[in-house]
Amino acid sequence: MENLRILLPKGRMFDNVARLFGDAGFPVSLADRTYRPVMGASWLDAKLMKPQNVGELLELGSHDAGFTGIDWIRESGAQVEEILDLGLDRVRVVAAAPVELDEASLKARKTVVATEYVNLAESWLMTNGYHYRILRTYGATEVFPPDDADLIIDNTASGQTLRDNGLKIIDVILESSTCFVAGKAAMADKDKRARIEELAMLFKAVLDARERVMLEMNVTADRFESLVSGLPAMRSPTVSPLNGNNGYAVKIAVRRREVPDLIPRLKKLGAADIVEYDLRKVVL
């Protein structure tokens, strides 16, 4: 079978995607100044590429699957299949202007708009009735106003960089995160599709596990029913008798955010010897 050709995102997305592969069982190593990561599976061939280019390369069929932001898929209009939104590296694509300018004053002039998102920007500007000229940027878009642009359309995680440069958000155009995507030609190939879907299943198992922990506890027989009835669980708890029939050992997988409230409640319900530990994968 032909190897699966994967595009990994260069830049800020790379670390989280590499960690995801590692947690899924495929460690990634990348030597300095190289663009060909070594993958922990003989059937995976990987190349590092800017997220902006991933969608179009998959559409062309030179690679089978890859990782990029939803923002760059929408910007390029690439015809790809979105397999799994990983929820990593969340950003918003926003329109932002100097704090002293309001929308009325912007619309009263021919607005110079600095952006890497030329297509998203044009669609938003036309929809909102601007008379504009787009100035394409290649990074550091926030430095253009007020001298060289009246408005920017850029991505931001927290908005702090915009505030540091005297800019305010006037509209959120798109919310985006890292997505696992595939080319249509690869998805039409039975063997490659199976590999892609297997990867997606493992990625989802890793992401689900990050949201959960396992709790183990002991409970006496007389407190067992009240304890079990108060347990949240993905399905039902795992229960086994303790040596000597003195009670039960109970295991449950719960959402990590529930733990601070849950452990005191379990203690009141009769749980003892409570142990919490992380999960690696959860396949639902």
Reduce the DSSP state of residue 219 to 3 states and report it: strand
pLDDT for the residue numbered 231: 81
Interatomic CA distance for residues 151 and 107, integer angstroms: 11
Tens digits of per-residue pLDDT, 203-253? Answer: 999 999 999 999 999 999 999 988 988 887 656 788 999 987 789 999 999
**Beta-bridge mates of residue 248:** 219, 241
Interatomic CA distance for residues 33 and 261, integer angstroms: 48
pLDDT for the residue numbered 229: 83
φ/ψ of residue 166, rounded to 5 = 70, 30
Fold observed for domain 4-86+178-209: D-Maltodextrin-Binding Protein; domain 2 (3.40.190)
Q: Which CATH number fits domain 212-278: 3.55.40.10, 3.30.70.120, 3.60.15.10, 3.40.50.1480?
A: 3.30.70.120
User: Does residue 284 carry a pLDDT above 90?
Assistant: no
Stretch 23-33: mean pLDDT: 90
Q: Tell whether the torsion through CA atoms of 233, 236, 242 and 247 is positive or negative.
A: positive
Q: What b/e readout covers 235-264, taking b as 16+ CB neighbours within 10 angstroms?
A: eebeeeeeeeeebbbbebbbeeeeeeebbe
How large is the C-alpha radius of gyration of the chain?
A: 25
Query: pTM for the complete prediction?
Result: 0.89
Tokens, residue 31 = 């030597």
Tens digits of per-residue pLDDT, 83-134? Answer: 999 999 999 999 999 999 988 889 888 999 999 999 999 999 999 999 999 9
Interatomic CA distance for residues 93 and 105, integer angstroms: 22
CATH architecture of 91-176: 3-Layer(aba) Sandwich (3.40)
Stretch 5-31: mean pLDDT: 94
Other beta carbons less than 10 A from residue 275's beta carbon: 10
Tokens, residue 37 = 């990561």
pLDDT for the residue numbered 98: 95
Other beta carbons less than 10 A from residue 194's beta carbon: 12
User: Does residue 268 carry a pLDDT above 90?
Assistant: yes
Check if 4-86+178-209 and 91-176 are the same fold: yes
Check residue 244 and report its DSSP letter.
T
pLDDT for the residue numbered 233: 63
Tens digits of per-residue pLDDT, 130-175? Answer: 999 999 999 889 999 999 999 999 999 999 999 999 999 999 999 9
Alpha-helix residue ranges (DSSP H) falling in the chain = 14-24, 51-60, 70-76, 103-107, 118-127, 160-164, 184-188, 190-210, 224-229, 259-268
**Beta-bridge mates of residue 51:** none
Which residues are CB-neighbours of 266 under 8 A, at least 6 positions away? Answer: 215, 217, 227, 230, 231, 274
Interatomic CA distance for residues 242 and 171, integer angstroms: 59
Indicate the domain borders of the chain. Answer: 4-86+178-209, 91-176, 212-278
